[in-house]
Amino acid sequence: MTKSPIEVVVKCGCTMAVAILLMCCFVIATHAAELNVPTSVAAGSGLSIPTSGRGSATLYVAGPGTAIKRKVQLGQEIQLSADELQNAGRYVVSLDGNSATFFVIAGPVQSIAFLARPSRVPADTPNVITGTALVFDKYQNLVLQPQPVKFDLNVNGQTVSRTDMTKQGIAYIKLDSSKKEGPAQFMASSGPASVRRVVQEVASDPCNIRMSAERDKNGVLVRTDPIRDCAGNPVPDGTIVTFTSTDSQGKNTVDARIKRGIAQAHLPASANATISVASGVVVGNEIQWRVDR
Amino acid sequence: MSPAKSPDGAVQSLLAHAKAHDYKGAYSYVAQSSDNDEQAFARDLTGRDGSLRTYSSLQQADTKVLHATDDEALVRATLEYATAVGAFYDTRDLKVVKQGDRWQVEWPVVQEAKVPPQVIQENYLRWDVITRGSDDDWGAQNVEAPRVRIVSMNAIAQGNNTIIVGEIENEDTVPGFVSVGATLVGKDGSVLGEETSFDKISHTLLPKEISPFRIDFPKVQLGTVKSVRMAPNSILGPASADPVIGVMHQRVETDTRGSHVLKGDLVNQSGVVVNIPHVLATYYDNSGKVIWVSGRLRRPSAVAADTSSICRRSARRPGLQCPQLPRYRE
């Protein structure tokens, strides 16, 4: 039995209508899964992603140290908690075939990693103390936005302060050591965070070594005045001071140690000798020793 | 013990018994005219007070009669000891006399300074080190090694060998254990050799102390070297400021073989006994440049407190012309 033309037209029209209806549904469904995320989010602040449509879908979130997969209901807001967005970096969100990216940036400065080098420096020396500070937020993300870091160096009540802006999370400074020896309190602070280190400032090279000589029962006793560096700091005990005497019988050398600020040694008796003193590469005075017979 | 029929035989028999640790037998070859008693003789051969001699044994003895008459002779004994720190060589000229039908050795009396029993107060400074622990803050500094600096360096050609000599100073206020390494780089950029100073340096340097160093590169010609990379190293560690050793009456003499010898007296001015003195000599030209460094463990005998003993260093260095003998420091 053949179909009438009207029946054919009606059937074709119905088919087309269903197809159009399905396409509209598909378009509507696609538009409902589009993700609307901000460009960046502060670490630890959480994120709410609105969705539309109906039904359930699977949400995927991938980022630094983060991988999330869970079932969500379309049409409801998707909540990403603060704990899930702790680590700074680029995140990709994918839902029902659509994806979007956003960045988690570091929050406010909460802690500082501070390196002060070296642990021991000579006093009164320029650019000898270095400080390097790295600023982090609550979740140990490096804060890349420029932040002010204040460096303070305090020795015996005298403080030198300087503020430097971080570059890519790092602030670096070089400071002179003070004239006075002693433990220098070196502090770096930014916001609520601060860290203290101690740099020991010690005496520099001896300066103006003066010695005297006198006869004693063992020969010649040579003794220095209290040995200090050029800034007046006493050179520590145990430092080597070399006494040398040269006479007709040869050369005599004694590497004495500073004890209670002075160094002394016994040299052989001699009628005519040249006595000198030195410590490291610093030379002191010279004595022409003569014994009148 | 069979009596010695020749001067050479007497010395060899004495040393053979000493090598076998038979000091009683060795003493039978010592002339009665010697002022040594058997105990002093044995102590001279075996050492005491933990000296290097106590850690050594006689390996070989060569003898040579320098001159002889019917009644007496002079015999040179060249001795080689095996010690805890390597071979040690000693030369002794021994007078041998004929007593009756036998030759016997007049063993020289070793005058050791007698230090009476006493209490010696020692108050020299000591350093100890506490390093950072595992519970210290991440960024907290550890105690730094002492700053050392090479204050002079000189490259010398010695035949087919290259020798690097110089001096290194501990610029810091704490003591350190130091060593110096060097790398020779050839004209094509290749590494010709890497060596360290080993024992030609005083390894423990107190604050502001200067030590010479010498680094030997055997079979590397100086003409093939383009550059030298020096690598001073220092480690912080515990140390003591004593002993204080003075080197007195340093002078250059000529020994019986015609060699120039640098001689001096070691005086222990502190209270602790020094077991194994290590003597380093630095030689400078007229401009103050280091031209040679020599070092030697002193003849194995401890240096007691407040005493002195004689050391000798050969000033012989290939190419060193006398009478252009340089200045020196021990």
- pLDDT, tens digit, 9 for 90 and up, residues B23-38: 888 888 888 765 667 8
Determine whether the interchain pair B141/A197 forms a contact, defined as Cβ–Cβ distance below 8 Å: yes
As given in the structure block, the two tokens for residue A85 are 């967005």
More confident of the two residues A183 and B255 = A183
Q: Give the range among A35-39, B110-114, B165-169 with minimum mean pLDDT.
A: B110-114
CA A201 to CA A189: how far, in whole Å?
22
Question: What CATH number does residue B154 fall under?
Answer: 2.60.40.3230
Asked, for residue B117, whether it belongs to a domain, the answer is: no
| d(C-alpha B68, C-alpha B8), whole Å | 10
Q: Which domain holds residue B265?
A: 242-329
- With cut-offs at 50, 70 and 90, classify the pLDDT of residue B195: very high
Instruction: Mark whether A121 and A177 lie in a shared domain.
Output: yes
CATH of the domain at A156: 2.60.40.10
Strand partners for A104? A41, A89
Do B164 and B214 share a domain, yes or no?
yes
Per-residue confidence band for B252, with pLDDT thresholds at 50, 70 and 90: confident
Is there a single domain that holds both residue B151 and residue B228?
yes
In terms of domains, do B313 and B231 share one? no
Residue B207 lies in a domain: yes
Render pLDDT for A155-192 as a digit per residue (tens, 0 to 9).
888 899 999 999 999 999 999 999 999 999 999 999 99
Considering the domain boundaries, does residue B64 fall inside one? yes
Do residue A253 and residue B244 have CB atoms under 8 angstroms apart?
Answer: no
Is residue A211 exposed (0-12), middle (13-18) or buried (19+ Cβ within 10 Å)?
Answer: buried
Classify burial at A151, counting beta carbons within 10 Å of its beta carbon; exposed 0-12, middle 13-18, buried 19 or more: buried
pLDDT digits (tens, 9 = 90+) for B84-142: 777 777 888 889 998 888 899 988 876 666 667 777 777 778 888 888 777 777 777 78
Kindly state whether residues A159 and A218 are assigned to the same domain.
Answer: no
| A118 → chain B, closest CA residue | B144
Q: Which residues pair with B216 in a beta bridge?
A: B163
User: What's the structural domain count of chain B?
Assistant: 3
- Domain termination residue (choose one: A173, A202, A231): A202
Give the per-residue pLDDT at B297: 63
> What is the CATH number for A232?
2.60.40.1930
**Secondary structure (DSSP) of A43-107:** TTS-EEE---SSSEEEEEEEETTEEEEEEEETTSPEEE-TGGG-S-EEEEEEETTEEEEEEEE--
Burial environment of residue B117 by CB neighbours within 10 A (0 to 12, 13 to 18, 19 or more) = exposed
- Total number of domains in chain A: 3
The answer to whether the Cβ–Cβ distance between A265 and B174 falls below 8 Å is no
Same domain, A235 and A152: no
Query: If DSSP codes are grouped into helix, strand and coil, which group holds residue B111?
Result: coil
CB A131 within 8 A of CB A114: yes
DSSP structural state of residue B147 = P
> Is residue A206 exposed (0-12), middle (13-18) or buried (19+ Cβ within 10 Å)?
buried
Could you read off the pLDDT of B170-182 as tens digits, one per residue?
A: 999 999 999 999 9
Among partner residues A113, A119, A197, which is closest to B144 by beta-carbon distance?
Answer: A119
| A176 within domain boundaries | yes
Q: State the Cα–Cα distance between residues A121 and A182, nearest whole angstrom.
A: 10
Q: How far is A256 from chain B (nearest CA, A)?
A: 6
pLDDT at B317: 38
Q: Sort strands A56-63 and A89-95 into parallel, antiparallel or unpaired.
A: antiparallel
Nearest CB neighbour to B206, from listed A199, A240, A259:
A240
- Residue A293 confidence class, pLDDT cut points 50, 70, 90: low
CA distance A262 to A154: 29
Can you name the residues that pair with B137 across neighbouring β-strands? none
Range of the domain at A189: 111-202
Q: Do the Cβ atoms of A250 and B251 come within 8 Å?
A: yes
pLDDT at A25: 46
With beta carbons under 8 A apart, name residues in chain B contacting A117: 141
Return the DSSP state at A204. Answer: -
Cα–Cα dist A237/A134, whole Å: 38
User: Do A264 and A282 belong together in one domain?
Assistant: yes
In a domain, A282, yes or no: yes
- A112 close to A49: Cβ distance less than 8 angstroms: no
CA dist B264 → A25, A26, B280 (Å):
109, 106, 12
d(CA B31, CA B97): 8
pLDDT of B305 above 50: no
The pair of structure tokens assigned to A178 is 């003070």
**pTM for this prediction:** 0.73
Q: Is residue B2 one of the residues assigned to a domain?
A: no
Contacts of A205 in chain B (CB under 8 A): 171, 208
For residue A27, tell me if it sits in a domain.
Answer: no
Instruction: Answer yes or no: do B274 and B226 share one domain.
Output: no
Question: Is residue A149 domain-shared with residue A93, that is, in the same domain?
Answer: no
Asked if residue A1 belongs to a domain, the reply is: no
Q: What is the pLDDT of residues A70-83, one digit of tens each?
A: 999 988 889 999 88
Domain ends where: A202, A234, A268? A202
Tokens of B87: 């071979």
- Provide the residue type at A91 as one letter: Y
Contacts of A166 (CB under 8 A, 6+ apart): A133, A135, A143, A146, A147, A148, A149, A190
Q: Nearest CA of chain B to the CA of A234: how many Å?
A: 11
Give the pLDDT confidence score for residue B318 in this predicted structure.
34
Instruction: Among B124, B125, B329, select the one facing A253 at the smallest CB separation.
Output: B329
Min Cα separation B276/chain A (Å): 18
Out of A117, A118, A280, name the one closest to residue B171 (CB).
A280
Is A192 part of any domain?
yes
**E strand residue ranges, chain B:** 57-68, 72-83, 86-99, 102-106, 126-127, 148-158, 161-170, 176-186, 191-196, 204-205, 210-217, 225-236, 239-240, 245-254, 260-268, 278-284, 290-297, 308-314, 327-329
Same domain for A66 and A88?
A: yes
One domain for residues B79 and B95 = yes
Mean pLDDT, residues B165-169: 95
- What was the pLDDT predicted at A6? 52
**Chain B residues close to A238, C-beta within 8 Å:** 124-125, 127, 175, 206-207, 241
Residue in B47, B78, B20, B61 with CA at minimum distance from that of residue B275: B47
Enumerate the residues of chain B whose CB falls inside 8 A of the CB of residue A279.
208
User: Does residue B136 fall inside a structural domain?
Assistant: no
Contact between chains at B208 and A265 (C-beta distance less than 8 A): no
- Compute the count of residue pairs across chains A and B with CB atoms less than 8 Å apart: 113
Q: Which of A174, A202, A230 is the last residue of a domain?
A: A202
Task: Specify whether A118 is located in the same domain as A197.
Answer: yes
Q: Is A84 exposed, middle or buried (0-12, 13-18, 19+ CB in 10 A)?
A: middle
Look at residue B29 and tell me if it is in a domain. Answer: yes
Instruction: Look at residue B288 in the predicted model and tell me its pLDDT.
Output: 86
pLDDT value, residue B111: 65
Please indicate, yes or no, if residue B1 is contained in any of the structural domains: no
| Low-confidence winner among A27-31, B263-267, B278-282 (lowest mean pLDDT) | A27-31
Strand B148-158 with B260-268, pairing: unpaired
Q: In 3D, which of B173, B322, B319 has the Cα closest to residue B252?
A: B322
To 10 degrees, the CA torsion angle through A64, A69, A71, A73?
Answer: 20
Nearest chain A Cα distance for residue B312, angstroms? 14
Going by pLDDT thresholds of 50, 70 and 90, the confidence category of residue B324 is very low
Mean of the per-residue pLDDT values of chain B: 81
Are residues B248 and B234 located together in one domain of the fold?
no
Nearest residue on chain B to A134, alpha-carbon basis? B139
pLDDT tens, residue by residue, A214-255: 998 878 999 999 999 999 999 999 999 999 999 888 899 999
